[in-house]
Amino acid sequence: MISADRVPAECRGKLIRVFSDSGSFKSEIMPPLSAAEKQKKAQEVESQQQQKMVAEEFLREERFLTAHFRSESDITQAQKKALELVEAKKKMVLEQLDLLANIVYELRIEISNAKQLDKNSKSFQQLYQSRLDELTRSIKKSQDQLATYETEIDRINREYDQTLQRYRVVVVSRRR
């Protein structure tokens, strides 16, 4: 038995038992951790923190889903509601594209008739061509909007499908 205020050199890196003045066992002082042990312990702590964060996120998500949706049909109704607005906009763009296509068709007929009637009038041909170019730009813009709405519909469907799957997981975990 060694008694000292400091750890003797031959005891460094080893388990040290501390005894009281009466000689009874008081506590143990663990040896300092090696670099590998420190790294392993840090990884374990980080892993535990990540597991805790995942569990907290799952509880937050569970509270959110159960607060907003009482059943799977509520999620389906919310999805339909979200899609209605985008599909209405998409329908308007499709109608606009049909209208523009008809106007372009009629304008091309006018241009061909004007060329046949008056070949000397370059100003009319330029006017018709500028109107045709403007309509073509409008068609391109409407097609871009249509593509945007298609993308939005796909995103909404994916989002609500994921929500429905998470809701099912929450319901199953609550039953356990």
Determine the Cα–Cα distance for residues 50 and 95; give it in Å rounded to an integer.
52
- Angstrom distance (rounded) from CA 22 to CA 35: 37
More confident residue, 46 or 11: 46
Average of per-residue pLDDT across 41-52: 95
pLDDT digits (tens, 9 = 90+) for 109-149: 877 777 666 655 667 677 777 888 888 898 899 999 999 99
Residues 111, 127: Cα–Cα separation, whole Å: 10
How far apart are alpha carbons 154 and 83 in whole angstroms?
10
Q: Using one digit for the tens of pLDDT, what is the confidence trace for 57-108? A: 888 888 888 888 888 899 999 999 999 999 999 999 999 999 988 888 888 8
Q: Is residue 19 within 8 Å of 26, Cβ to Cβ?
A: yes
What is the average pLDDT across 162-173? 86
Distance in angstroms between the alpha carbons of the first and the last residue of the chain: 56
Q: What does the alpha-carbon distance between residue 116 and residue 128 come to, in Å, rounded to a whole number?
A: 14
Distance CA 172, CA 176 (A): 7
pTM of structure: 0.58
| Whole-angstrom distance, CA of residue 137 vs CA of residue 131 | 10
- pLDDT at residue number 30: 82
Cα separation of 110 and 108, whole Å?
5
